[in-house]
Structure 1
Amino acid sequence: MFVIRWVLGRIILLLNFIFAPKKAQHSAELQAKLDDLTKLLQLYQFAACPFCVKVRREIRRQGLNIKLVDAKLADNRQVLETQGGKVKVPCLRIEEGKKVTWLYESDEINRYFNDLVLSAK
């Protein structure tokens, strides 16, 4: 089973590389505003996870600068489990002041990004 997952993961990464979406081109002012809105966001993810790829494609499509955190590393996995409540990816860590929210579903994360871009315009 490990071999099958590994092969499928590499196929997903290859196809994502070949068919990568075009990065959005924003005005300097809008990009600065988006960078300010996203500076405290972190995406906990696995490189070959299809749902993580879906979210990373949306990040690229929207032209966002989001910090990617590899959840396979023990320290990051520990943070995801203790603070987020479960080891499940993709997971978006949203820090707003002293409040931290963890968003787990890829569709919800992509909807959050869409709303973020719309609010910045």
Structure 2
Amino acid sequence: MKTVIRTFFKTLRLVIGPLLLLGERLARPTGLVRSPAAQGEVDRQCSSMALYQYKTCPFCIKVRQEMRRLSLRIEQRDAQPPGENREALVTGGGQAKVPCLKITDQAGHSQWLYESGEIIDYLRQRFLNAAQAS
């Protein structure tokens, strides 16, 4: 029975996944425009972050769309297949759950932020409010 359920959901992902990716591409938001200096500072800050995600996860798509809206160049790591990224997610964050934003401070300490809503709130507070204050 377990095999049947796994096969069903795997087939469902294979059918719906491309549709979700097409929807993401068609609904691509316009990015926030900053001065070159301001965008450079944002890019520098984003270099200490990584988004662990699955390509076709609806919650991951939601976070990626917000990253585009805020013009954030955050490294995206696919944690779906077994391997280095998935292992880093489980070891560092404690769960194989996506989306997960890894935020590393200047001292090298990492914070693992789960839940798409919390990630979006964090990104908006850190990058949108700063852009509006400029």
> Is the TM value for this pair above 0.5?
yes
- Residues matched between the structures, number: 121
Question: In terms of mean alpha carbon deviation, does 21-30 or 42-51 score higher?
Answer: 21-30
Residue among 13, 18, 23 paired with 2:21: 13
Runs (4+) off by over 2 Å:
none
Which residue of the partner structure matches residue 3 of structure 1?
Answer: 11
For 1:7 and 1:21, locate their aligned partners in 2 and report how far apart those are by CA, in whole Å: 25
Following TM superposition, by how much is the alpha carbon of 1:119 offset from its aligned partner in structure 2, in angstroms? Answer: 3.1
Aligned match of 2:71: 63
Partner of 1:103: 113
Tell me the TM-score normalized by structure 2: 0.85
Distance in 2 of aligned mates of 1:78 and 1:99: 18
Give me the identity figure in percent: 39
RMSD: 1.2
Alignment-mate amino acid for residue 79 of structure 1: A
Q: CA deviation at 1:71?
A: 0.5
Q: TM-score, normalised by structure 1?
A: 0.94
Unaligned runs of 5+ in 2: 1-7
Where relative contact order (Cα < 8 A, 6+ residues apart) is larger, the structure is 1
Q: 1:80 aligns with which of 89, 92, 100?
A: 89
- 1:119 aligned residue: 130
CA distance in 1: counterparts of 2:123 and 2:30, whole angstroms: 16
- Residue aligning to 2:5: none
Q: Give unpaired runs (5+ residues) of structure 1.
A: none
Q: Which has the larger radius of gyration?
A: 2
Q: Distance in 1 between matches of 2:74 and 2:65?
A: 12
